[in-house]
A and B are shown apart, each in its own frame.
Chain A
């Protein structure tokens, strides 16, 4: 009962603190430019203002245009219900909810693209096609990275994975896999939230917009829903990264939650610094960056699948005697049980090692 209460509290805290990330990003950007900047709570004031405004709907749009923002917010909230935070399991967790999580976010993006195409405007069509291309490249990175984490920890549900990451040291046996996955997730975070170096969120030229142009025609309550869903997506992807880099090490939930929230705010500050120091990449070079994130994820997964269980031969180097994860143990046991003769049950490595000359 206590756990469910904590999950509910953390869920509500996520919903409440999500727009603060945008405030932090804008404040950091303003400070780095030498200005004072808007107050930290400005996104809340903007959302409140937008809720009072009316909307103008074009005559070329159909019900998809009105459904887009609503489905965007609904999918973001659905993914939030599946997200573990601060070492607590999510409110709803089951085996395989990783796939549901990724596809919730994909569904939200799909309906945003559809709503943009529904307006019939050429700028929005252009932005929609670019957005579809970039997120089609980012999705394998996210899924394969999740696969690498599953191989490391052996849990099949998002909550299990992120809970067991607390037992893994970053310099230990699975360290390289976890760090590579974190690096890949940071690039996916920048892509899915349309940040520099993939997209400039402050540009006012429609030819250079990717995400902003898709929401150009929305106004009033629709725009408030879209902005809030955008903040929730920042929170979702941020928690994925912070869960790997600052795992829940302590036994008190409140300390873990505080560490996680400060980690997400630190990530927002990092995004602010990145946006102030870098320009957006040329549109032709963005696929290269996304392929790099796919390569990081693939490397993490290949590493966790084929890494040597015996360490290197040098005793000065730390010998990692941590046993392989339960998932690999089950797979190995299944493979061993299906082989017919007795000699094949011993892996080849150990056979040859015993016969090696000293």
Chain B
């Protein structure tokens, strides 16, 4: 059933791209991380070691449970309006998603690897994450885009690193931990100073 898992992952990306709600998108990112972890376990089913299981469990715990909790707490303390406020609308974002999917499928066909659909899914997730960072104004949604990008990179690691997929997982987890930690502090400070989280207005030279 890995076909359906892949389709579900692609559809989750489209859901995040077209959504206007921050809370639902955080849940979607958590589900995406869980599905990718499950997919990783699935592909390693024959030569499963305690090492692999433990690492996958830690990554699922961190990416699906701890990060969303931190993000929700940041949402609550900053008391922001829970809408995304994208620079490009949901329709254009979805059309970008289609173009990105096409590009990632084309690139994945060129790479000489056996399971090219999973590779396409990984590249598509990374492109979605980058698009989210670029096209959303709030600082919290940029963190979300970064998390999606790291999900995509972890999926990429699943496909390419045959021997040690968990090594890439560990690197990704370190990245995410530092990023969310730093972003959380930054978001609180920005909010405390400026009373809003709009990164567009940070370039204005006003004192209040």
- The interface of chain A, by Cβ under 8 A from chain B, is 171, 175-176, 180, 287-288, 291-292, 295, 298-299, 302-303, 306-308, 310, 312-318, 320, 348-349, 351-353
A-B contact count (CB 8 A): 76
Instruction: Find out whether the CB atom of A298 lies under 8 angstroms from the CB atom of B91.
Output: no
Cβ–Cβ contact B45 & A314, under 8 A:
yes
The B135-149 residues at the A interface (CB cut-off 8 A) are: none
Chain B residues within an 8 Å CB radius of A308: 114-117
Complex contacts, B4 vs chain A, CB 8 Å: 175-176
In the bound complex, do residue A306 and residue B46 qualify as a contact, i.e. CB atoms below 8 Å apart?
no
**Assembly CA distance A92 to B156 (angstroms):** 50
Partner of A307, one of B18, B46, B94, B117: B117
Whether B194 is near chain A, meaning CB under 8 Å from some CB there, is no
> With A292-B94, A298-B98, A349-B114 as given contacts, are A317 and B105 in contact (CB-CB < 8 Å)?
no
Shortest Cβ gap from B133 to chain A (Å): 21
Closest-by-CB residue of B relative to A356 is B114
- A–B pairs, 8, beta carbons within 8 Å: A288-B18, A299-B10, A308-B114, A312-B2, A312-B115, A349-B112, A349-B114, A349-B116
> Measured between alpha carbons, how far is A349 from B108 in the docked complex, in Å?
11
Partner of A312, one of B7, B105, B118: B118
Query: What B residues does A306 contact at CB under 8 A?
Result: 105, 109, 116-117, 120
Closest beta carbon of chain A to B119's beta carbon, Å: 10
How far does the Cβ of B131 sit from chain A's closest Cβ, in whole Å?
A: 15
Q: Which B residue's beta carbon lies closest to that of A316?
A: B45
Instruction: Scan residues 70-87 of chain B and give those whose CB is less than 8 A from a CB of chain A.
Output: none
Task: Report whether over half of chain A's contact residues are helix, strand or loop; otherwise say mixed.
Answer: helix
Query: Smallest CB-CB separation from A349: which chain B residue?
Result: B112
B115 engages A313 (CB within 8 Å) = yes
Q: In whole angstroms, how far apart are the Cα atoms of A349 and B114 in the complex?
A: 7
In whole Å, how far is B90's beta carbon from the nearest beta carbon of chain A? 5
Given contacts A175-B3, A291-B94, A306-B105, contact A314 B43 (CB under 8 A): yes
Which of chain A's residues has its CB closest to B3's CB?
A: A176
Contact A348 B101 (CB under 8 A): no
The B interface is mostly helix, strand or loop, or mixed, namely helix
Q: Any chain A CB within 8 A of the CB of B102?
A: yes
Q: How far is the CB of B100 from chain A (nearest CB, A)?
A: 11
Complex formed: what's the CA distance from A306 to B114 in Å? 13
Output the least CB separation between B7 and chain A (Å).
5
B1, B90, B94, B114: which contacts A317 (Cβ < 8 A)? Answer: B1
**B98 — which chain A residues lie within 8 A by C-beta?**
295, 298-299
B24 contacts A by Cβ under 8 Å: no
The reply to whether A317 and B91 contact each other, CB–CB distance below 8 Å, is no
- Across-interface contacts of A298 in B (CB, < 8 A): 98
Chain B's nearest CB lies how many Å from the CB of A175? 7
- Chain B positions 1-56 with a Cβ under 8 Å from a chain A Cβ: 1-4, 7, 10-11, 14, 18, 42-43, 45-46
Any A CB within 8 A of the CB of B97: yes
Query: CA–CA, A85 to B53, complex, Å?
Result: 51
Rounded to whole angstroms, the CA-CA distance of A180 and B112 in the bound complex is: 28
How many angstroms from the CA of A318 to the CA of B98 in the assembled complex? Answer: 28
Q: Is the CB of B114 within 8 A of A292?
A: no
- Residues of the A chain whose Cβ atoms lie less than 8 Å from the Cβ of B186: none
CB distance from A147 to the nearest CB of B (A): 14
Closest chain A residue, CB of each to CB of B39:
A312
Contact (A287, B91) CB under 8 Å given A299-B101, A302-B101, A306-B105: yes
Please measure, in the bound complex, the distance between the C-alpha atom of A348 and the C-alpha atom of B108, giving whole angstroms.
Answer: 12
Docked Cα-Cα span, A295 to B14, in Å, equals: 9
- Which of A288, A307, A320, A348 is close to B91, meaning CB atoms less than 8 Å apart? A288
Distance in Å: Cβ of A324 to nearest Cβ of chain B:
14
A349 to B117, CA, bound (A): 13
Complex CA gap A348/B117 in Å reads 16
**Docked-complex contact B42 and A291, CB < 8 angstroms:** no
